[in-house]
Amino acid sequence: MNRSLLTRLGLYAAIAAPSMLLVATDQPFLIQVAIGTLISAILALAWDILSRTGQVSLGHAAFFGIGGYGSALLTPVLGPVLGWAAGILLCGLVAVLLGAVTLRLRRLYFTIATLSFSLSIQVLILVTPGLTGGSTGIMPPVIAGGSPPLQLLFVTGCLVVAAGVSDVFLGRRFRPAFFMIRNNPELAAASGVPVTRLKILAFAVSGMVAGLAGSCYCGLYGYVIPDDVFTTNWNVLPLAVTVLGGMDTTLGPIVGAVVLRLLEELARQAVGGVGYQVVYGAVIILFIVGLPEGLAGLGRVVLRRFRPPGEGTRIKARLAS
């Protein structure tokens, strides 16, 4: 078993360990906070997968909601496993169709297009009450019979799956091509990289992972309305979480989700009311300005400082061999 695989398995175990401890302690409030944090981390990983190709989305709430509504509507017909799978695949199909139209757009124009798409999907849900329940919402089947500890374990498993997908796209097969597309798409195309095809692939996978997060969210309480899943919060949150934790990593969005939730709770306790949101936002801005590479970048700097002399050279030699 190579070192890279052992590192990934250790990461997945580290992701699952806190959830196991929370289940053992049986603290209902902490379990609910942890569930929300893990769902945010799944959505942030979805956003980061797409951003590796240079595309900044403000429309992931659309896939979050489509996944939730799709799994809720299809589960009674197909059963829980096939219903969830079909809902998540629906997100991938929508992403492919949207990507074929929008991924030729650059930067700001693509961002505006995804935001417009998200708002359009919310309107579509509202004007089709016969299918989606409209503004009154729907009642999806509850995950794990409504047991918070079991729901936490289930969502943790989904996060591990999302982390595994993220690692695949950070591997040697995709990472160089994705980063070349982000930095210089013309050079990538001239070098034989299938730019459009890889962008659509990243968009499809990103949409499906976001749909997985939405399915988890909608299955928590057995009731969901459009304003719960198509809100602007789900468009902006994954961006903030990923930038805070560190882009182009698997661990960064997960750490970012945890830190962001801790900052929110600390600001809420210190300030209270609605004023805490101002302090909360100011702290996030300071983090982003002071740590442009996120907490993951800070971790790399610390590790380099404590690395024994010559270790970096030896690692490079092993990678080159």
CA separation for the pair 198, 272 (Å, rounded): 46
Residue 292 confidence (pLDDT): 74
Q: Which segment of 76-80, 184-188, 296-300 scores lowest on mean pLDDT?
A: 296-300
Residue 99 confidence (pLDDT): 92
Q: Quick check: 309 pLDDT over 70? A: no
Q: Quick check: 70 pLDDT over 80? A: yes
Residue 2 confidence (pLDDT): 62
CA angle 294, 249, 111 (to 5 degrees): 75
Q: Quick check: 284 pLDDT over 80? A: no
Backbone angles phi, psi at 138, to 5 degrees: -135, 170
Residues 98-127: tens digit of each pLDDT: 999 988 887 789 999 999 999 999 999 999
Rounded to whole angstroms, what are the CA distances from 15 to 10, 21, 124?
Answer: 9, 11, 37
Residues 201-225: tens digit of each pLDDT: 999 999 999 999 999 999 998 888 9
Residue 276 confidence (pLDDT): 62
Mean pLDDT over residues 85-91, rounded?
96
Average pLDDT of every residue of the chain: 87
Residues 20-52: tens digit of each pLDDT: 999 998 888 999 999 999 999 999 999 999 999
The residues, any chain, with a CB within 8 Å of residue 67's CB and separated by 6 or more, are: 87, 88, 90, 91, 208, 210, 211, 212, 213, 214, 215, 218
On whether the CB atoms of residues 103 and 200 are closer than 8 A, the answer is: yes
CA separation for the pair 164, 155 (Å, rounded): 14
CA separation for the pair 216, 237 (Å, rounded): 16
Backbone angles phi, psi at 247, to 5 degrees: -80, 165
CA separation for the pair 155, 19 (Å, rounded): 10
Residues 225-257: tens digit of each pLDDT: 999 999 888 998 999 899 889 899 999 999 999
CA separation for the pair 61, 147 (Å, rounded): 26
Residue 317 confidence (pLDDT): 44
Tell me the whole-structure pTM to 2 decimals: 0.90
Residue 318 confidence (pLDDT): 43
